[in-house]
Amino acid sequence: MSGRPRDPRSSRDARLALHWRILIVFAGTVLVWLFLYQGPLLGRDYDRPTHVARAVLTTLLVVPLVVVARRLLDRRPWTGLGLPSLRTGWRHLLLGMACWLVPAALGFALCLGFGWVEVSVRTSPADALRVAALLVVLVFLYEALPEELVFRGYLHRNLATRLPAWQAVIGQAVLFTLFGFLVGAATSADRLLLFFVFALLLGGFRVATGDIWAGIGFHLAFQTVAQLFGDVGAVFDVAGADVLGVLALGALPFSLGWLAMSRLHRDRLNWRALTPDHVA
């Protein structure tokens, strides 16, 4: 086979460039969350207007960060990040939501049916629906879109250009868990484990579907319901919240959701595949 020998320095420089790109975007993302959650602008206390402000500002800061990084650091097309238009991605969005909501509904039914959990409404059904609708928007802007775009979009894609798919999934999961620790969202062992398993699952969704819309849908459904039945929503009193969280919000949706996704896209799953830079 003829051709010029490969310069080992070019390969080494490319790896260093990749590491710097990942570090820059990861650090920028951490700084955005720290600024909005612990910075002087909005303070640390929670109320609904502050939640709205944080959600809007997160998307307004994180999306341009990824756009600039993709254009100036990667010099690659936006399409490589796995966020096609909603016209193309809505089916995967709904599939991701269904992968969480259907098993979660089963979990709720089991918890309520066996008496492990009791739920009572603090306010009117109309007010509960209003809060739920608002949380869908806030979770999308504050968590589902920006976190998926950074971790399963930008960071996963860059890792996947050098590593097999399974290693890229683990790599972004480690970064997501570190992110949770640094911003104060995952400081206990159980929260760190949740962040890591959650990120593994969403990374698997990215490999299975080829984009991040399914992960956005799963993330959106999970966080919205978890906040609605928690202190953020403040519309339900839940007795047995630990059982509800472990079984209905976590174990069943995570396991059955992945089982459904992996079977539906089994022909696409290739854990050893690399995604070269030139592939959009």
Q: Give which of 148, 251, 252 is closest to 209, Cα–Cα.
A: 148
Q: Give which of 176, 245, 228 is closest to 206, Cα–Cα.
A: 176
**What pLDDT sits at residue 111?**
97
pLDDT-flagged residues of the chain (< 70): 1-16, 278-280
Residue with tokens 């949706």: 253
Is 85 contained in some domain? yes
**What pLDDT sits at residue 117?**
97
**Residue 265 near residue 209, CB atoms below 8 Å:** yes
Is 3 contained in some domain? no
How is residue 57 written in tokens? 């500002």
- Tens digits of residue pLDDT in 30-80: 999 999 988 777 877 788 999 999 999 999 999 999 999 999 999 898 988
From CA 280, how far away is CA 272, in angstroms rounded? 18
**What pLDDT sits at residue 157?**
95
**What pLDDT sits at residue 9?**
47
Range of the domain at 161: 10-264
Is 17 contained in some domain? yes
Is 279 contained in some domain? no
**Residue 136 near residue 120, CB atoms below 8 Å:** no
- Tens digits of residue pLDDT in 230-239: 999 999 999 9
Is 136 contained in some domain? yes
Is 2 contained in some domain? no
From CA 3, how far away is CA 72, in angstroms rounded? 31
Side-chain-side CA neighbours of 120 within 13 Å: the count stands at 3
Contacts of 98 (CB under 8 A, 6+ apart): 217
Is 1 contained in some domain? no
The number of domains in the chain is: 1
Q: In which element (H, E) is residue 119 found?
A: strand 118-121
Q: What are phi and psi of 118, to 5 degrees?
A: -125, 135
Is 84 contained in some domain? yes
